[in-house]
Structure 1
Amino acid sequence: MIPVIGVASGALLLGESVTWIEGVALLLVLGAVSLVLF
């Protein structure tokens, strides 16, 4: 999960290539994945 979160954080920090909608969707996906894994 750490590498995934790192990549996601890096993409969100860029800002220009990731809209807030995509950011929210990504957070929802990460949340769902974490629920499945843990």
Structure 2
Amino acid sequence: MINQPQFDSYSTAARVCLGVAVFSATMLAALMTSILM
């Protein structure tokens, strides 16, 4: 927590992972919706 650059890089990686997870969830939801219809 003392090293600011490491925390900053971790924060960026966390944002990227979160973005990928949200994108995957959206694609999965769209796929399930198209299958159910």
Greater relative contact order structure (CA < 8 Å, 6+ sep): 1
**Structure 1 moving runs of 4+ over 6 Å:** none
Structure 2 length as normaliser, TM-score?
A: 0.54
Cα RMSD over matched residues?
1.9
Percent identity (aligned): 13
Relative to the length of structure 1, the TM-score reads: 0.53
Larger Rg: 2
Number of aligned positions between the proteins: 23
List gaps (5 residues or longer) in structure 2. Answer: 27-37
